[in-house]
Amino acid sequence: MYNGGKILFGILIFLALVTFPFYNDIGKANVRPEPKINTPEIQKLSEKQCVESQAFMKANHMTLLNEWRDSAVRGGNRTYVASDGKKYTISLQNTCLRCHSNKKEFCDTCHSYAGVNPYCWDCHIAPKGAKK
């Protein structure tokens, strides 16, 4: 083999670089995102309950928001009847964000952890006043 030493050395460097993300993370705890719900509006609620159950919202809030969007914009129906029978006005800015006024600590923690980049905020105005 010509230049065997150099080739082997090169392969070693290549392997070291390629596997860097793996050995770099060994032993480090995978910190889970903790979306915070301690906004003043939520503190005021006697029963801390979103429009649907927490498990449902965690898994399906994007589907719910899409349905809300289509219902309000295209269907013209702006009232949502939750599974517990309570009625909510369909509005991202005026219903969701009234309680969840802490976009940074609530929306962004999970979204940046999961590497998703929803474009809601290109148009919808994130609350600025109540930064907690």
Partner 1 sequence: MSINRREFLKIVGASAILALGGVAIADGIDKDNLEVSQFLPEPGALVAGKWAMVVDVRKFKTEDDYKRVINACNSIHNIPDFGEPKDEIKWIWTDTFEHAFPDEYEQKYMPASLERMPFVLMCNHCDNPPCVRVCPTKATFKRADGIVMQDEHRCIGCRFCMAACPYGSRSFNWRDPRPFIKKENPDYPTRTKGVVEKCTFCVERLAEGLMPACVEASNGAMIFGDLTDPNSEVRKALSSNYTIRRKAELGTGPNIYYIIGGTDNA
CB of 61 to partner 1, least distance (A): 11
Number of residues that bind partner 1 (CB under 8 A): 31
**What distance lies between CA 34 and its chain's CA centroid?**
10
User: Taking a C-beta distance cutoff of 8 angstroms, is the pair 71, 77 a contact?
Assistant: yes
Query: Alpha-carbon distance 76 to 40, whole Å?
Result: 31
CB of 16 to partner 1, least distance (A): 43
Contacting partner 1 within 53-92 (CB under 8 A): 56, 60, 63-64, 67, 69, 71, 73-83, 87, 89-90
Q: Using CB atoms within 10 Å of the CB of residue 20, give its burial: 0 to 12 exposed, 13 to 18 middle, 19+ buried.
A: exposed
Binding site for partner 1 (CB under 8 A): 52, 56, 60, 63-64, 67, 69, 71, 73-83, 87, 89-90, 93-94, 119, 122-125, 127-128
